[in-house]
Copies of this chain bind each other. A is one copy, B any other.
Amino acid sequence: MPQGLFAVNISEKFALFSDRWAPKIIGAFNDLHIKAAKLKGEFVWHSHADTDELFLVTKGSLIVHLRDATVTVNAGDFFVVSRGVAHMPVAEDEYEILLFEPAGTVNTGDAGGARTVTSEAWI
């Protein structure tokens, strides 16, 4: 549910869903949404022309492939992908992340395809 005069417990939000590749909105400030997502395996190569994207890992390890580097983002770490930079997140085991990005940012960016989520809901 949209936030109000209460704190949001991040673990409780992750306990509310089990579907992967379907980010849920758990908070908002200014023009940004904070989304919780559970992911496993390979995503798709994509980029976001108009925005940076922040990944904050809360469980597991996320590997972010970039064209010229590979960055490991462990639980308790965050990583910022700059706008326009192609990236592909991947992990063998399920991982949980918070995404900070402008409301309306499409998960697959310029790539589209089967993993595109067009309507993200608050939980």
Chain A positions within 8 Å of B, measured between CB atoms, are 3, 5-11, 27-30, 32, 34, 51-54, 66, 69, 71-74, 76-80, 100, 102
Tell me the number of copies of this protein: 2
Q: For the complex, what is the distance from the CA of A79 to the CA of B4, rounded to whole Å?
A: 9
A-B pairs with beta carbons under 8 Å apart, 23 shown: A3-B80, A5-B66, A5-B71, A6-B71, A6-B79, A7-B72, A7-B73, A7-B77, A8-B78, A9-B74, A9-B76, A10-B77, A10-B78, A11-B76, A27-B78, A27-B80, A28-B80, A29-B52, A29-B53, A29-B100, A30-B102, A34-B54, A100-B100
How far, in whole Å, are A7 and B73 apart by their CA atoms in the complex?
Answer: 6
